[in-house]
Amino acid sequence: MTTSQRTYARHALGLPNKKLASNRNYFRIGAGGNGYDEWEQMVAQGDAIKRAGAPWAAWGSDDTFFLTLQGALAALDPKEHIGQWEVP
């Protein structure tokens, strides 16, 4: 996982925070958005999965990326852990 991918992954997990635990697992972004290519690379390397956006969805047509357990663990700093969320 590259430095920029790790930054996006940590944001998706809601890190950093005082509890040192992730509190979510998603990142919404439209094709061509800043970071979209990094998320696509994370999907290709097994660190994330993608759900294509739907025009009728509340967040519009943006795609939603979720970290896999592999990706989430790679994004953690020492002493941080995965909170309560499910990997889709």
pLDDT digits (tens, 9 = 90+) for 24-49: 999 999 999 999 999 999 999 999 99
End-to-end CA distance of the chain: 20
Cα–Cα distance between 10 and 56 in angstroms, integer?
A: 28
- CA angle in degrees (0–180, nearest 5) for 25-39-4: 95
Q: What is the mean pLDDT of the segment spanning 12-26? A: 95
Helix (H, G, I), strand (E, B), or coil: what is residue 21? strand
Domain positions in the chain: 3-75
The structure's pTM equals 0.88
Question: What is the identity of the amino acid at 31?
Answer: A
